[in-house]
Copies of this chain bind each other. A is one copy, B any other.
Amino acid sequence: MELGMIGLGRMGANMAQRLHRGGIRVTGFDPGQAARERMASAGVATAASLEALVQAMPAPRAVWLMVPAAAVEPLLEQLLPLLAPGDLVVDGGNSWYRDSLRHAQRCHQAQVAFIDCGTSGGVWGLKEGYCLMLGGEPGAMARLKPALQVLAPAADRGWAHVGPVGAGHFCKMVHNGIEYGMMQAYAEGFALMQKKQEFALDLAQVAEVWRHGSVVRSWLLDLATDALRDNPRLEGIAPYVQDSGEGRWTVSEAIELDVSAPVITLSLLERLRSREANSFADRMLAQMRSGFGGHAVKAANDGE
């Protein structure tokens, strides 16, 4: 099978390599020359432009997009005029499933098939394989199967056709919502153990023992164990947590569907909170306490 990979960042480059090693003929494209050169030096063919990529592939083509969510729509506008009826576009990035529904419609107008693929696994996917949740038509899925079997951890597992277009990114969105909740649960638990100074717990040791036989064993815990072993006090790291969209979409979707999802929601809010400097709400609380109770307010820039 032959596949074009557009977007050779962290995820796209790794996936192109895994496909290449697995016997799929991959041609990669990225607007950045350095990204293309890294790819080429890893032995994967590259094209210097979208046009060149498309021309390098025999029809019907399969092109896999691995670009930031905001880049998908403009990229499609550039790409579709270059493609031919019968070609296939896969969006393997973290797009909002509602955008994917629109993108599928746009492709449909050009008689190009569209698959939305939620991709999990992060930087470890190159070695361990990716988890792939796919939405789209069965025919398109069948064409993509050889690539999926190589990308997934094993030929018969780690990839699934979960429903019509949109379903793939929907499942990935929920997956990330759950991920936020699990991460927050671990983070709170370890923070509590770290604060319990009288037991002088070795957090890496506790994490390690939990990896074997406990109810909370998981891949995230495996990673946490490594991190705590390397840096037991997490020194040099700012308490500043980014989020990348899927959590927000999950929260928003849950509310729209009248599903109460407090833990996923609070996990997102904690990330917002981590990035709030000089919280206005907290200053207002301090001021209100002072207003009715005469409680002293801590002055700004006071040391503790």
Which residues of A are at the interface with B, using a C-beta cutoff of 8 A? 10, 120-125, 128-133, 135, 152-154, 157-160, 162-164, 166-167, 170-171, 174-196, 199-202, 205-206, 208-221, 223-224, 226-227, 231, 234-242, 248, 250-289, 291-295, 297-302, 304
CB pair B132–A209 under 8 Å, yes or no, is: yes
List the 5 shortest-distance A-B pairs measured between CB atoms, nearest first. Answer: A181-B185, A218-B218, A158-B212, A239-B282, A131-B214
CB pair B254–A192 under 8 Å, yes or no, is: yes
Given known pairs A195-B259, A273-B273, A283-B238, the reply for A219 and B220 (CB within 8 Å) is: no
Please name 30 pairs of A and B residues whose Cβ atoms are closer than 8 Å in the assembled complex, sorted by A: A125-B213, A131-B214, A131-B217, A154-B212, A158-B212, A176-B215, A177-B185, A177-B189, A181-B186, A181-B263, A184-B262, A185-B185, A188-B259, A190-B281, A191-B261, A192-B253, A194-B280, A220-B288, A220-B292, A236-B300, A237-B287, A237-B298, A238-B298, A252-B255, A255-B268, A255-B272, A258-B276, A259-B276, A263-B270, A273-B273
Q: Which residues of B contact A181 (CB under 8 A)?
A: 181-182, 184-186, 188-189, 263
Given known pairs A158-B209, A212-B129, the reply for A171 and B234 (CB within 8 Å) is: no
CB pair A153–B238 under 8 Å, yes or no, is: no
Q: Quote the shortest CB–CB distance from A21 to chain B (angstroms).
A: 16
Query: Once bound together, how far apart are the Cα atoms of A117 and B278, in whole Å?
Result: 32
Q: Which residues of B contact A175 (CB under 8 A)?
A: 189, 210, 214-216
CB pair A283–B239 under 8 Å, yes or no, is: yes
Q: Quote the shortest CB–CB distance from A196 to chain B (angstroms).
A: 6
Q: Which residues of B contact A288 (CB under 8 A)?
A: 183, 186-187, 220, 223-224, 227
